[in-house]
Chain A
Amino acid sequence: MSGVSFNEAILELPMVTLTIDGKKIEAPANTHVLQVALKNGIEIPHLCYHPELSVSGGCRLCIVEVEGYSQPVPSCGLACTDGLVITTQGERLYELRKNVLDLFISDHPLDCVICEKAGACLLQEYAYEYGIKETTYTPTISSTLYQDDNPFFIRDHQYCILCGRCVRMCDEIVGVHAIDFAKRGFETNIATPYDGPMIESTCVFCGNCVQVCPTAALMPVSRKDKGREWELDHKTTICGYCGVGCQLEYALKGDEILYAQASPDGPVNGELLCTKGRYGWDFVLSPERLTRPLIRRDLAYELGLTSEPWEQPDTSPLADRQPKIEDYFIPVDWEMALDLVASRLAATVNEHDPDSVVGLASARCTNEENYLFQKFIRAGIGTNNVDHCARL
């Protein structure tokens, strides 16, 4: 069931025709009604369903009426068959969904006014749609556990609706199974084995669970207290860490990145990212980040760029001051840097021979840049000594 994309399914399976809300729709046999409805622009509320994951059937919001059935059926697990006639809206469905949401809200703090997820929270969205201001039952919060035991994400159980998306993500796609449902009944929660700290579990901190969490139960540490969803700009870009080229989206407040996430329509990676892409962006605004070419101070002296001769700074821990980058390098402009590299390379090749040069490229460059680089080394310098760090 999981892992089969819509397109693959289309390739392999015979097609069937079903009717959803009066509209005749062709779909591959055995794909699920919810999946097909969403593809065709028919909205059915859903919390536990996620297109990348296997079907859970736990949230009960996606119920629809099926002709010939007395009881509504969750559409996320309902296989498409020929002649199926589905109704997705109606008074009875509205009432049942509203009641189910009412039960969700009875176990959920009404913190929308202070919650950073507000605006991107699915529970909030459906509560709004179904006009639920507060629960008609007795508000009873099942767990108030707050776990910030790692530098990447916070687990705030009071907001957890136990949709199980995180569990399925970690198990089915990441393949790590660091978390699962624990305990039973109203005390059920999502936990690591024996509820140990996240760091001691098998978690690799890819954050894909955070990505698919529909509520504020899993949130990036980096955005804590830094603003609400609608204050943020989202900038789409490509991750620079490796050659896969995952599409990602930085959520920015002004110039500051608050978190990174994948966007569902990323052609390479969908909603998935690795630890580096999702959490490794703090260098962007780091004051230590290099923004200009630097040349070594001894070389600069030799070239007459500075009058100060260079001495190895005292690196002992007992030294009066610890050396800084300026003690080793001086900044120059690009023209000078490139001229210097070109002339020194030419001199080396002339004095010795091309094979005395080796070129090492970086995985952080694009394919095109790497192509040009090897061309330069092979055709320009004239050696096959060229390699690449493969990954970061």
Chain B
Amino acid sequence: MTLEKLERMAQRERQRQEKFERRIFCCISTACLSAGAGQTINALQEAVDACHCKENDVEVVQTGCMGLCSRGPLVRVEDKSAETLIYADVDVDLSQQIISKHVPMRKLTDESIPEEMQELRENLKKARRRKRLEKHILGMDSPFFAKQEKIVLRNVGHLDPEKIEDYLAHGGYSALRHVLQNMTAEEVCDEILRSGLRGRGGGGYPTGLKWKSMHQEESETKFVVVNGDEGDPGAYMDRTMMEDNPHQVLEGMIIAAYAVGASYGYFYIRGEYPIAVDRIRRAIRTAHRNGILGKNVLGTDFNFDAAVRIGAGAFVCGEETALIHSVEGKRGMPRMRPPYPSTSGLWGKPTIVNNVETMANVPPIINRGADWYANIGTEQSKGTKVFALAGQLTNTGLIEVPMGISLREIVYDIGDDVPGDAEFKAAQTGGPSGGCIPHEHLDTPVDYENLSKLGSIMGSGGLVIIDSTTSMPEFARFFMDFCVDESCGKCVPCRVGTIQIRILLDKIIAGSGEPEDLNKLEDLCHIVKDTSLCGLGQSAPNPVLSTLKFFLDEYIALIPAQEPA
């Protein structure tokens, strides 16, 4: 019953979309919105209205991130009889040019249209003569697009995140259907294990193993939690996923729940992401209405429901045990593990916590098979990784690349090098928990093992490029400051150790350091790393340690020469 209804909805939406001669997609994701996408999409729609074209000529669609956020607002034109084009930096004026170029204007007698529209029509006619448009076309075969491989983000930027029909029309919920109809919970765990998927929240723990151990827990009540806290400064992979394709995350979550035997789940989303909260809530409501959530999911005897919990924006609340406390309504402070959440999580019940991107990987793995997935990436790190590429690069934005791609390809091909006269100096992965990777290691394949060998981590996907104008000690201090503020205060190495690291950095950067301060700094970093309770403290010294390792000369240069005795 439910299945047929969903199939009909998908069919109807596909037919509806196919009717259009052309569809114009405008990104309304946060980066583009803040660059003015709100006006852009209005301008596109008004211009289309003014053209008075035939009913099935054109549709303007709000959609998600297309990747090159530094050039937003982005608009993509898909035309049945022409090649697909993406336009960058589309303001109101450019919107009119795009419409006048791509959409035929129907001739009308002047009396039948209101005056304002008359004016707009005149503008559109004039716009056709302007030549600015060509410069805004992004080459689809440029390395920025060509080097990427989209699994998680495949449909992001192609569908309207607020319409479940659009997700269904793109094959949405077929993985869930397959799982519920043809697979046992154990088979799902095995499939995910075989795919080699590892947690994208930073730790890289094999997702299949986590699910399996939770599956084996005997408990009537189990929970699934999707970690959408995304605390790394500058990172926005998870936000984009939740905003731009919320149903894919939800589908992953429901499959996870089936695999581990959970009947209730929470999305934990930081309060700074109101749009993500709104979209996920909307997705939950529509899924509910359509029999995808609630009692008897898709007509089977599997029951599952989900709700959103909003975090108050503490970095540490992304740590799974702190997150669990926060969902329970307590102060978000980590606790010692074991017991792991899969044994004792929310309200003492077995709970799996998985990152948004981890969940979003699940439907494609089910749809296309573990073998297909395991073929992408490296020996130990399978699939792709989404990065928020930021810092001093020509192209910044949201990218998805196969594991094992070299940093060099990301920096020089996808990122198109550091702009201006400055040169590439280092790449910082993993945000405040990660490290800096210098030029000589640019050929390192990006995967879990290789990054940690270099004293950095894969992290959740923050990737900041630093050019030669940046002082590395100051850069390290920036992240240290972050940890000083974000430590939860529970354990002394992190609460007090980080502030003492900061004090030492301040002293060195101010030029009043002594040679032994560098040793002291390094020793203290190791103490904090070795004795802190949770991942925050254990990784907080990484930016300092990795810059001490690769850019020691910059620190030494800050220490005043000693007077000979």
Contacts and interface: CB of A to CB of B under 8 A. Distances in A.
Interface of A: 55-60, 63, 71-72, 74, 77, 79, 96, 99-100, 103-104, 106-107, 136-138, 140, 142, 161-162, 164, 180-181, 183-188
B158 to A, nearest CB: 40
Contacts of B499: 140, 185-186
Contact of A185 (B331, B485, B531): B485
Contacts of B331: 180-181
Nearest to A47: B492
26 contacts: A55-B335, A56-B335, A57-B336, A60-B491, A60-B531, A63-B531, A99-B531, A100-B492, A100-B493, A100-B531, A103-B492, A138-B503, A140-B503, A142-B496, A162-B489, A162-B492, A164-B490, A181-B331, A181-B488, A184-B485, A184-B489, A185-B495, A186-B489, A188-B488, A188-B489, A188-B495
B486 interface: yes
B497 interface: yes
A104 B520 CA distance: 17
Contact of A99 (B488, B498, B527): B527
Interface string B495-536: 111111001000000000000000010001001001111000
Given A60-B533, A138-B503, A181-B331, A103 B497 contact: yes
Contacts of B489: 162, 181, 183-188
Interface in B57-73: none
Given A71-B530, A162-B489, A186 B496 contact: yes
Nearest to A63: B531
B333 interface: yes
Contacts of B485: 184-185
Nearest to B487: A185
A184 B490 contact: no
A60 B336 contact: no
B338 interface: yes
Contacts of A106: 496, 500
Contacts of B492: 58-60, 100, 103-104, 161-162
B494 to A, nearest CB: 9
Nearest to A54: B335
Given A63-B531, A161-B492, A181-B488, 8 more contacts: A60-B532, A96-B531, A137-B500, A137-B524, A138-B500, A140-B499, A162-B495, A186-B489
Contacts of A161: 492
A107 B497 CA distance: 10
Which secondary structure dominates chain B's binding surface?
helix
B327 interface: no
Nearest to A97: B531
B496 A104 contact: yes
B540 to A, nearest CB: 11
Contact of B488 (A71, A104, A140, A184): A184
A86 B348 CA distance: 28
Given A72-B530, A181-B333, A59 B500 contact: no
A59 B491 contact: yes
A57 B487 contact: no
A223 B232 CA distance: 48
Contacts of A56: 335, 490
B283 interface: no
A184 to B, nearest CB: 6
Closest 6 CB pairs of A and B: A188-B489, A77-B336, A57-B336, A103-B496, A58-B490, A137-B500
- The residue in A57, A140, A162, A185 that gathers the most chain B C-beta atoms within 10 A of its C-beta is A185
Nearest to A164: B490
Contacts of A142: 496
Which secondary structure dominates chain A's binding surface?
loop
A30 to B, nearest CB: 10
B484 interface: yes
Contacts of A107: 496
A44 to B, nearest CB: 15
A79 B337 CA distance: 11
Contact of B493 (A103, A136, A181): A103
A71 B495 CA distance: 20
B314 interface: yes
Contacts of B490: 56-58, 162, 164, 181
B121 to A, nearest CB: 57
Contacts of B493: 60, 100, 103
Given A58-B490, A162-B490, A164-B490, A137 B503 contact: yes
Interface string B467-494: 0000000000000000011111111110
Nearest to A182: B331
A138 B524 CA distance: 13
- The residue in A96, A106, A184 that gathers the most chain B C-beta atoms within 10 A of its C-beta is A184
A188 B331 CA distance: 12
- The residue in B490, B493, B520 that gathers the most chain A C-beta atoms within 10 A of its C-beta is B490
B314 A184 contact: yes
Nearest to B485: A185
Contact of A186 (B495, B524, B530): B495
A96 to B, nearest CB: 6
A104 B503 CA distance: 16
- The residue in B486, B493, B498, B520 that gathers the most chain A C-beta atoms within 10 A of its C-beta is B493
A57 B497 contact: no
A59 B499 CA distance: 16
Nearest to B333: A181
Nearest to A30: B339
A317 B372 CA distance: 96
Contacts of A187: 489
Contacts of B527: 96, 99-100, 103
B333 to A, nearest CB: 7
Contacts of B336: 55, 57, 74, 77
A13 to B, nearest CB: 15
Contact of A96 (B314, B495, B498, B530): B530
A364 to B, nearest CB: 40
B507 to A, nearest CB: 8
A164 B498 CA distance: 20
A138 B517 CA distance: 12
A181 B332 CA distance: 10
Given A59-B491, A140-B499, A185 B484 contact: yes
Nearest to A167: B331
Nearest to A189: B489
A56 B499 CA distance: 22
B315 to A, nearest CB: 9
A123 to B, nearest CB: 11
B513 to A, nearest CB: 13
B533 A186 contact: no
Given A106-B500, A185-B489, A57 B335 contact: yes
A218 B523 CA distance: 34
Nearest to B489: A188
A17 B331 CA distance: 37
A1 to B, nearest CB: 9
Contacts of A71: 530
B487 A58 contact: no
A72 to B, nearest CB: 7
Nearest to A98: B527
A180 B325 CA distance: 14
A137 B333 CA distance: 26
Nearest to A99: B527
Nearest to A95: B527
- The residue in A59, A137, A140 that gathers the most chain B C-beta atoms within 10 A of its C-beta is A137
A104 B484 CA distance: 16
Contacts of B503: 137-138, 140
A186 B531 contact: no
A184 B533 contact: no
A103 B314 CA distance: 24
B320 to A, nearest CB: 15
Contacts of A57: 335-336, 490-491, 533
A4 B35 CA distance: 58
Nearest to A138: B503
Contacts of A79: 338
A45 to B, nearest CB: 13
